[in-house]
């Protein structure tokens, strides 16, 4: 049932500042990444939320790519735990993640850490732009956190495999979080074949946010996903399982639990035996 869970998914700048000044400050992660831009670490060094630790999406939030598994397979749990400890995460830590891309990369970290058993992980609503627009200062260079002691265990959020997507019975709506032109198959800049998984409904991640990069209000998101038939069980994919997490976060904020298809279209389209739709 749709209900307002925004406070469990998103953190405002004001709440983050208050938490940073508390006796139990959160671990803040900067997930500076965009498709086609490999200079995320440089952007981070040029200016980030004070104390924030840089997270490399390609190497720390994903396993190596392959046609069989997709462009951003889920990382090995032991590798993710080692990375989380490098970031300074302890057992019971509060974690806030952000980026400069409307939360589309930060949501990958949010999803992975929730999937791995961390209960208190939120996305900074509006990201670095919201932080700056509130007049907050930024730091440069690299932060060097102490090593944490967190223990992770996978499986706390639902995932589906490529065969489960192919065999779905229609009880859960299949959402494609890519831009409309990629969903239709008009263009395909990175994956082997243009198009979409048959039966998918387009729910582009960009539709989850307002012009300033903040997630839309509860009522707007509820109406949006209800119109797509996603006010019940849903499965979400994108190109490689990154921006799909953004749509899963938007759904979680209205109380809807959705499964991630991690291989997403990059895995599906690499298999010539899997059908695609266009138009």
Q: Which residues are catalytic?
A: 238
3-state DSSP assignment of residue 174: strand
What does 236-265 look like in DSSP terms, one character per residue?
A: EE-SSSSHHHHHHHHHHHTT--EEE-TTHH
Secondary structure letter of residue 37 according to DSSP? B
**Cβ atoms < 10 Å from Cβ of 87:** 24
| Main-chain dihedrals φ then ψ at residue 255, nearest 5 degrees | 85, 15
**Cβ atoms < 10 Å from Cβ of 36:** 6
The pairs formed by 54-62 with CB atoms below 8 angstroms and a separation of 24 or more are 54/30, 54/142, 54/143, 55/29, 55/30, 55/31, 55/83, 55/87, 55/97, 55/109, 57/31, 57/33, 57/105, 57/108, 57/109, 57/242, 58/33, 61/31, 61/108, 61/109, 61/112
Rounded CA-CA distance 18/234 in Å is 35
């Amino acid at each position: 049932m749709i209900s307002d869970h925004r406070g469990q998914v998103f953190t405002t700048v004001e709440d983050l500042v208050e938490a940073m000044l508390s006796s139990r400050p959160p671990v803040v992660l900067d997930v500076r990444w965009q498709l086609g831009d490999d200079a995320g670490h440089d952007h981070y060094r040029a200016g980030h939320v004070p104390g924030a630790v840089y997270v490399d999406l390609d190497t720390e939030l994903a396993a190596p790519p392959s046609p069989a598994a997709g462009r951003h397979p889920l990382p090995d749990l032991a590798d993710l735990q080692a990375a989380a400890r490098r970031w300074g995460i302890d057992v019971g830590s509060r974690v806030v993640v952000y980026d400069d891309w409307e939360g589309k990369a930060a949501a990958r970290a949010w999803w992975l850490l929730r999937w791995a058993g961390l209960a208190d992980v939120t996305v900074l609503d509006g990201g670095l732009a919201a932080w700056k627009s509130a007049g907050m200062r930024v730091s440069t260079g690299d932060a060097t956190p102490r090593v944490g002691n967190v223990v992770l265990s996978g499986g706390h959020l639902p995932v589906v495999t490529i065969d489960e997507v192919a065999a779905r019975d229609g009880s859960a709506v299949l959402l494609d979080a890519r831009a409309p032109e990629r969903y239709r198959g008009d263009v395909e800049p990175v994956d082997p074949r243009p198009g979409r998984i048959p039966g998918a409904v387009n729910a582009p991640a960009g539709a989850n946010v307002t012009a300033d990069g903040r997630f839309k209000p509860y009522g707007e998101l509820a109406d949006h996903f209800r119109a797509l038939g996603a006010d019940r069980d849903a499965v979400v994919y994108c190109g490689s399982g990154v921006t799909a997490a953004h749509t899963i976060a938007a759904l979680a904020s209205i109380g809807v639990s959705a499964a991630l298809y991690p291989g997403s279209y990059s895995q599906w389209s690499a298999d010539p035996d899997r059908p695609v739709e266009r138009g």
